[in-house]
Amino acid sequence: MRLFLLTATMLFAFAAHAAPQQDRADDHHADTLVVDKGLMSQFHQVRQTVVDRTSDLVVTAIGFLGVPYRRGGNTAETGFDCSGFVRAMYTQTVGHLLPRRAEEQAAATQKIDRSELKPGDLVFFNTMRRAFSHVGIYVGEGKFIHSPKPGAQVRVEDMSGSYWSRRFSGARRVAAVQDEIKASGD
């Protein structure tokens, strides 16, 4: 039995000594992968948070369909005008306070191309013979939600309809969402 244990121990020791040593470059590569995976994980987590917030924003906005238009209106109880509606949705869901007027909201947000629109972005229209006189929230598939005019209610419209396509002034993205992505990368 002792001879068996001695032989097994010797074979084990020889096998351990003969095993190739791990290259330090492999260690560095493995560490880099772990760090990269950690950064990627953080990026995906923040990205998902942004997607969730954007989804929450659109879902919340949809929940206000039918609320009547009211000039200067800021709440569901009193009614909304276009910029009051957008401001309330961003405050409630993202916690970001936008300026009160549509043209101020355009000035305070990041210009994007129409082809870059994502749900939650702002869309602006010239409805009063001046750019950025009307605002809504893009919900996807060429549609936006807004509080249109006196006598109407919060509703979803198609941007490709002749009225809206002729009056389109531009698209904007709220920088607070982008800042959140950048901050998480630091």
Q: Catalytic residues, which ones?
A: 82, 134, 146
| Alpha carbons 36 and 12: distance in angstroms, whole number | 37
| Rounded CA separation 46/67 (Å) | 32
Sorted by sequence, the CB contacts under 8 Å of residue 111 that are 6+ apart come out as: 170, 171, 172
Question: 110 and 175 in contact (C-beta within 8 Å)?
Answer: yes
Q: Is 62 exposed, middle or buried (0-12, 13-18, 19+ CB in 10 A)?
A: middle
Which residues touch 78 (CB under 8 Å, ≥6 apart)? 70
Give the length of the chain.
186
Question: Is the CB of residue 153 less than 8 Å from the CB of residue 76?
Answer: no
